[in-house]
Chains A and B, each alone.
Chain A
Amino acid sequence: MKIHEYQAKAILAKFGVTVPRGEVVTKKDEARAVAERLGTPVTVVKAQIHAGGRGKGGGVKIAKSPEEAASLAEHMLGMNLVTAQTGPEGRIVRRVLVEEGLDIQREIYLSVLVDRAVGAPVFMASAAGGMEIEEVAHKHPEQILRETIHAETGFQPYHARKLAFGLGLSAELAHAAVPFMAALYRAFVETDSSLLEINPCVVTGDGRLIALDAKINFDDNALYRHPEYKDLRDLDEETPLEVEASKYKLNYIKLDGTIACMVNGAGLAMATMDIIKLSGGNPANFLDVGGDASEERVKNAFRILISDPNVKAVFINVFGGILRCDMLASGIVSAAKELRIAVPIVVRMEGTNVSEGQEILRNSGLNFAVADGMKDGAEKAVKLAGGAR
Chain B
Amino acid sequence: MSILVNSKTRVLVQGLTGREGSFHSQQMIDYGTKIVAGVTPGKGGTKLLGVPVFNTVAEAARKTGATVAVAFVPPAFAADGILEAIDAGLELAICIAEGVPVLDMLRVAAELKNSKTRLIGPNCPGIISPGQCKLGIMPGSIHKRGHVGVVSRSGTLTYEAVGQLSKLGIGQSTCVGIGGDPIVGTQFLDVIKLFNEDPDTHAIVMIGEIGGNNEEIAADYIKKHVKKPVVGFIAGQTAPPGRRMGHAGAIISGGKGTAKEKYAAMRAAGIHTVQSPAEIGETMARVLGKAKSRSKARKSAASSKKKAKRK
Q: Which residue of B lies closest to A223 (CB)?
A: B101
Query: Is A235's beta carbon under 8 Å from chain B?
Result: no
Which of B75-125 touch A at CB < 8 Å?
75-76, 99-107, 109-110, 125
Query: Is B157's beta carbon under 8 Å from chain A?
Result: yes
Q: How many residues of chain A are within 8 Å of chain B by beta carbon?
A: 56
Residues of B contacting A: mostly: loop
A275-B247 contact given A114-B183, A319-B160, A351-B142, CB 8 Å threshold: no
Query: Is B182's beta carbon under 8 Å from chain A?
Result: yes
Cβ A267 vs Cβ B183 within 8 A: no
A116-B249 contact given A274-B235, A321-B137, CB 8 Å threshold: yes
- Determine the chain B residues whose CB is within 8 A of the CB of A43 once the complex forms: none
Query: Is A304's beta carbon under 8 Å from chain B?
Result: no
Query: Is B254's beta carbon under 8 Å from chain A?
Result: yes
| Contact among A133, A219, A225, A375 for B278, CB-based, below 8 A | A375
Among A189, A266, A351: residue with most chain B CB under 10 A: A266
A373-B106 contact given A251-B246, A321-B159, CB 8 Å threshold: no
Query: Is A53's beta carbon under 8 Å from chain B?
Result: no
Which of B174-220 touch A at CB < 8 Å?
180, 182-183, 207, 209-214, 217
A277-B247 contact given A221-B102, A267-B154, CB 8 Å threshold: no
Q: How many residues of chain B are within 8 Å of chain A by beta carbon?
A: 64
Q: Which residue of B lies closest to A152 (CB)?
A: B110
Cβ B137 vs Cβ A291 within 8 A: yes
- Determine the chain B residues whose CB is within 8 A of the CB of A3 once the complex forms: none
Bound state CA distance, A283 and B243, in angstroms? 15
- Determine the chain A residues whose CB is within 8 A of the CB of B163 once the complex forms: 319, 350-351
Cβ B106 vs Cβ A277 within 8 A: no
Query: Is B255's beta carbon under 8 Å from chain A?
Result: yes
Cβ A267 vs Cβ B103 within 8 A: no
Cβ B110 vs Cβ A150 within 8 A: yes
> What residues of chain A have their CB less than 8 Å away from a CB belonging to chain B?
85, 114, 116-117, 119-121, 133-134, 137, 150-152, 189, 192, 194, 219-222, 224-225, 251, 253, 255, 263-278, 283, 286, 288, 291, 319-322, 350-352, 373-375, 378
Q: What are some 7 contacts across the A-B interface (CB < 8 A)?
A: A134-B256, A192-B101, A221-B101, A267-B207, A270-B239, A275-B278, A352-B141
